[in-house]
Amino acid sequence: MPDSMVAARTSDSAGPIQQVDVAVVGAGFAGLYLLHRLRKAGFSTVALEEADDVGGTWYWNRYPGARCDIQTIDYSYTFDPELEAAWTWSEKYATQPEILRYLGFVADRYDLRRDIRFKTRVTKATWDDAAERWLITTANGPSVSCRHYIMATGCLSAPKPPEIDGVKDFKGEIYFTGRWPHDGVDLAGKRVAVIGTGSSGIQSIPLIAEQAAHLTVFQRTPNFALPAHNGPAPADRANLLQGDRAGYREQARQSMTGVPYPQQTAVSWQLSEAERRARFEEAWGKGDLVYILTQLWADQGVDVDGNALICDFIREKIGEVVKDPDTAAALMPHDHPFGAKRPCLDTNYYATYNRPNVTLVNLRQEPIKAITTDSITTDKRSVGIDVIVFATGFDAMTGAITAVHPITGRGGKSLSDVWAHGPESYLGLTVAGFPNFFMITGPGSPSVLSNMAVSIEQHVDWVVDQLAALRQAGFNTIEATEAAQAGWAKHMGDCASLTLHRLANTWYTGANVPGKVQGVMPYCGGVGPYRSICDEVVSRGMLGFKLSGPNVAAQCNDGEVVRLQPDVRLVLGMLAQMNLPPLESFGAQGARDFLAQFNAARPAGRPVGAVGDGMLQGAEGPLPYKLYKPATAGPHPIVVYFHGGGWVLGDELSDDPFCRDMCRRTDMIFVSVGYRHAPEHRFPAAAEDGYAATKWIAAHATEIGGTPGPVLVAGWSAGGNIAAVTCQLARDRGGPEIAGQLLICPVTDCTFDRPSYNDNATGYFLTRSLMFWFWDLYCAPADRTDPRVSPLRGRVEGLPPAFIATCEFDPLRDEGVAYAEALAAAGVAVEQLKARGHFHSSLTMVDVVITGVSARVQMAHALRRFAGLPEAQTSPGYRIAAAAS
Ligand code: FAD
Ligand code: NAP
């Protein structure tokens, strides 16, 4: 339908329908920047805002003590250096009035108010398929017809109802932190109740306590809070910014959180107790949420054990400040990992509980039964109250979006219905079935897990850039495909499973709102990676979007933008950046030296009970071995392990982190064998050594602390090949008895025409040409069908039970699958793991590719089963990893 016909319609509210290219809802950080960018790009636009002025969060949240919790030099717009030069923050963490003044200053500077309709609440939005436009209905004033509809409605802008019986009966004053009166509240001499101890409660409680006659805090769940140490912006950060403003801002954009801090590399178990304490004390002294969340040790956000160390330190601090031991104990969080729920920055929060006019009521021990006309009654007491402050939080991330109801997309579908099982989106920016519809910091974007100023700028820039590009190309509509959206959901899940967010009931997961579907809503993969993914969507021809226009052929470049596991993507990205020459170009010794250097830079493996070494008898002489023993009392079953490296590279130490990890998980001895290598020792040296070593180890089991009887074999890559061959030789040569085989990405057949060899020929570290080189060095063409190097060509009946792991992006994938299928067809008990999104090295790159954990958990289960051991394990790290698998 032509625009002129749309314009002729009248609004169902007052006046003619307003016609614009783009309608924006919200005039907070996001809406303001959108208006500015859209105007500059030449779009006609209007912003609709429920409040009577700009500011969003900082307009509504005027409670005592409200401040930002990201340092203000970081929590600012960065799009215009002149704007940055024109504004100076007075404090490290600015107060709500100062941030509101700043946003007003921005609105004035770019003359934004003239395109904002204040006191205008958007009530519904309807896509008109024929006109290819949205009709936006408001509670007052004319409706708006627009080509594109952008919700900049905020992640934390829909306050949550109190959900407590009797609130309506209360005759005193009631306030919500998220809707605080503009002219303040006089609490002097009053008996005040604060319900809720999230960031809003924790910021306001100390100041309310100073004013009130008595303050009673009703706490359901304690939170971790850290002292803000507010004051002037710290010199180190300010100097960094001033020294190289552009560089600092760019680092923030590429960082994980939107604040430029480096990636930590030291893991907790590599540090001594004293070093850990020193790091913690330094972080505690800094008063910086992002610092303490990211800079202590590398495993703090991904590993329960590494995280628990911080929880202990913080609980200790609480105990030092709060004098009454019962109150201190009630304030100590035990139900979630640090950072899995948003920690709070406080000023005198814990010390406030030492005041004589403050009482803490622990609702876990005495839940609220009712609110009456003048009191709050729990199971144990009735507290007389004049004022109730609800600091009970928000229907976060989706609340403000679905409050516009219905948002009706293509085919009459409402967004609330589409999201009935949880919010799905593509990139957190848009939703399949809702053309020309965008969300700024929607569910599925980094948003609340980041410095939101940085995320908002990235979203706005991306959306406006794409709208301009579409207009230029003659497209009228843009819509995410279902496949792209489903792929994003998968990637979101992969990222979330890397973190500890799934282990806490929080507003990140929707758990704070009764009846809300639960799942980790923000994108957990980090700001920098997210930005690069959005850019990749564009560079790959608007991947995952359908585009159409009146005078241009429709375009749909369908697909999933990220198919790799998030950490695999990072590892491969780093390797690509190193721009290394092909490994095979180094020559055998050069490649060995390179690998040794590369391995030395990788994180060390975790401690095990004992590590030893020795010599065993190989096929033609002594071979070195490395022995990994569990910390528990033996004897333990033995796993004979063969390292990877294409029969050319590596040694008994090169898979050290993997052997340690599996030793810990299985509670079994791992013996890593230093078999002979090509080209010095060609086929069948490695195979015969593998067999001979297994025989020797089985015969010397007791001597090395193992259980006498059957052993198990395991190996990765060429080592998987040796393990598989060893099982066939042991069957055919009268022993030793092997209880089970674990083959990880094994070489099983010298055939290069399976699809995985072509699909993954380059780009995934183990390339096709590298495999050709390995084969050439190890085995003459005439020998390559020998089952001692191509076990798939051998007889596979009567082999020990097997666990075979293959990785999606590995040239060897299909031959591993073929071996598993052949074994199964021959009646061998086989368990297959097809690791989605992984590459050849994923499962052995312990502590680098963390998403490999669930695979290692499954492998450990299998080995224990083969050895006849029960599956149970006690380490908390093990439990979590198992839960994630
Ligand atoms: P908002 O600021 O929430 O603005 C959304 C606007 O949309 C609101 O003005 C609202 O009235 C309007 N709106 C919503 N629905 C409708 C509708 N149907 N019709 C019309 N108008 C509508 N983040 C950080 O990164 N660092 C911090 O330190 C930080 N501190 C915070 C402190 C508090 C107290 C809170 C609540 C949040 C904080 N946040 C912080 C998150 C904060 O929300 C974002 O940083 C940022 O301000 C969000 O901006 P926005 O424009 O996306 O949304
Ligand atoms: P919140 O973190 O969700 O905290 C709400 C609190 O209310 C929780 O303690 C919750 O307990 C409690 N609660 C909710 N319903 C309750 C009920 N029916 N009965 C008893 N207690 C109830 O909300 P928030 O404090 O407003 O903070 C939300 C987010 O906004 C923060 O995480 C942060 O991102 C942002 N924020 C930032 C700052 C800052 O410092 N810059 C300040 C405020 C807010 P349960 O935990 O048991 O549900």
Per residue in 141-196, pLDDT (tens digit) is 999 999 999 999 999 999 999 889 889 999 999 999 999 999 999 999 999 999 99
When pLDDT is cut at 50, 70 and 90, the band that residue 583 belongs to is very high
Per residue in 664-704, pLDDT (tens digit) is 999 999 999 999 999 999 999 999 999 999 999 999 999 99
Per residue in 269-309, pLDDT (tens digit) is 889 999 999 999 999 999 999 999 999 999 999 999 999 99
- Give the nearest ligand 1 atom to 30 CA: 51
Tokens of residue 9, six digits: 């319609």
Per residue in 461-480, pLDDT (tens digit) is 999 999 999 999 999 999 99
CA distance 255 to 449: 12
**How close is the Cα of 156 to the center of ligand 1, in Å?**
6
* Ligand 2 binding site (Cβ under 6 Å of any ligand atom): 67-69, 156, 162-164, 177, 195-201, 203, 220-221, 342, 345, 363, 391-394, 448, 507, 512
Q: Does residue 633 surpass a pLDDT of 70?
A: yes
Read off the pLDDT of each residue in 625-633 and give the average, rounded to a whole number: 97
The reply to whether the predicted model has a pTM over 0.85 is yes
The answer to whether the CB of 91 falls within 8 A of the CB of 98 is: yes
The answer to whether the CB of 567 falls within 8 A of the CB of 848 is: yes
From 76, 119, 156, 416, give the residue whose CB has the most ligand 1 atoms within 8 Å, as the site to mutate.
156
CA distance 659 to 654: 9
Per residue in 45-66, pLDDT (tens digit) is 999 999 999 999 999 999 999 9
CA distance 357 to 212: 8
Return the pLDDT at 165: 87
When pLDDT is cut at 50, 70 and 90, the band that residue 872 belongs to is low
Per residue in 377-412, pLDDT (tens digit) is 999 999 999 999 999 999 999 999 999 999 999 999
| Residue of 755, 690, 763, 680 lying closest to 726 (CA atoms) | 690
Read off the pLDDT of each residue in 828-855 and give the average, rounded to a whole number: 95
844 lines ligand 1 (CB under 6 A): no
Q: Does residue 715 surpass a pLDDT of 60?
A: yes
Percent of the chain with pLDDT over 70: 97
Nearest listed ligand to the Cα of residue 439: 1
661 lines ligand 1 (CB under 6 A): no
Read off the pLDDT of each residue in 748-777 and give the average, rounded to a whole number: 97
Chain centre to alpha carbon of residue 66: 28
Helix pair angle (29-40, 452-473), 10° resolution: 30
Read off the pLDDT of each residue in 130-145 and give the average, rounded to a whole number: 97
DSSP state of 846: T
The answer to whether the CB of 223 falls within 8 A of the CB of 197 is: yes
For the chain, what is the mean pLDDT? 95
Show Cβ contacts of residue 232 under 8 Å, excluding neighbours closer than 6 positions. 91, 92
Give how far Cα 246 sits from Cα of 74, 241, 618, Å: 13, 8, 60
Read off the pLDDT of each residue in 583-588 and give the average, rounded to a whole number: 95
**How close is the Cα of 336 to the center of ligand 2, in Å?**
15
CA distance 384 to 376: 7
- Give the nearest ligand 2 atom to 164 CA: 18
